[in-house]
Amino acid sequence: MLNNLVLFLGLLLLIFISSFSLSHQMILFLFLFLVSLKTKVSITHIFYRIKFFLLSLILIYALSIPGEILFYYYFISVSYEGIAQAFFNSLRLLNIFSLVAIMMSVLPKKYLIVKIIKFADFFSFFGLNKDRLSARLFLTFEYFELFKNYQFKFSTFTSELKKILAKDYQAEVKIMPESVALNHIDFIWIVIFVSVASLIGVFL
């Protein structure tokens, strides 16, 4: 029951996190930081892993968005609005990564995969290829486990990438479990989730 509630609330946050204002993003960050203290997730480690992505995001927003000029030199200009948008989107991205990491830390891997397969089974009524989606999602989780502690360095990036592409990881990746049947409890949970998400979307 607790796992269902965590997954339910986590998915709702992931869906609507892009609609949150800056103040809401800061409150969410504080909440996720406090939760991370009770789990194995380190937000500072997440920040370190995506630091170059965040830096690129900050530079793109700070240099490309017009507005009140804070700094100007030759063809380079930094605006107040650009800095504000850079901070807002960086914080939002950090919240998304942190939320996903906390969910994957709290929820058992097998439970998460089974729920994803059942969710895909529900949408197979609308023409979605359940087997293909389930296989891809499962392999994504498996490869994430393989590479989550992999250390990439710019000095050896090309050679390391060649090794990764040349290696056959199929022996290390577990065979996907057989499809799990969707029962009436799962159907009710999914209907409630879709209904709640639709209501929140209307008010947002």
- The whole-angstrom separation of Cα 91 and Cα 120 is 30
Low-confidence ranges of the chain (pLDDT < 70): 1, 123-157, 160-161, 164-181, 204
Q: What is the pLDDT of residue 196?
A: 84
- Please check whether residues 27 and 66 belong to one and the same domain: yes
Q: Could you report the per-residue pLDDT of 2-28, keeping only the tens digit for each?
A: 788 888 888 888 888 888 888 999 999
- Please check whether residues 36 and 65 belong to one and the same domain: yes
- Please check whether residues 42 and 114 belong to one and the same domain: no
Nearest Cα to Cα of residue 82 among 98, 96, 66, 105: 66
The total number of structural domains in the chain stands at 2
Contact of 160 with 152, CB cutoff 8 Å: yes
